[in-house]
Structure 1
Amino acid sequence: MTQMDIWVETTQKFLDYFDIDYKKNLDVIVGKRKTTGTSTIITKSFYFKFNSDNIYAIKRDNDTIDMTLEFVSSDIDDVLEFLFPDLLRLLFIDELLEEYV
């Protein structure tokens, strides 16, 4: 299993854990998720491109605003933190609760 395969598998497990809709095609994963803002539902988009030596990620925090952010790293944790900071906090809390319950 290559490093790229591990990154793809880790990403898919993360997205499945939070029940996020996505599509995978070889070394690309794209998807959208809905979050609630103050009183509105916001749709966020994301894109992963897995290469042999790094991961390229793009996110749009609100699909109604035409602004995207890009990030490149060889650390899957950094990429997930860039794309889903709120979900990583939830995952950390879930892990803590699991340890103490």
Structure 2
Amino acid sequence: MTLPACIHCGQDPERRERDGRVMFICPVCNARGDAATCETWAAASWRQVNRDDLPVHGCGHRPRFKAREGKWWACCTGCQHLTGGFMSIQGAVAGWARSLR
């Protein structure tokens, strides 16, 4: 399975597994997709947060997606513009785009 490189540092992701859940994570900057019981879903979430067409913030930086207390957040890596509280990584990606309109 070929996955895109990290949009933050250009490193290829590594596959990690724990407690029956799989995730893809950048070994350099720790950007990550969703942890899932299905490897295909985990790979799809990595692709979602590393899309070339993901909008950048006004300061020119891309978002990093993080899960905290069961909610997903998107934060600009430049100015720390934050949007979040979403139930899924897909919601956080959509919320990020919506916050930049």
By percentage of residues, which structure has more helix?
1
By percentage of residues, which structure has more strand?
1
TM-score (norm 2): 0.38
Larger radius of gyration: 1
TM-score (norm 1): 0.38
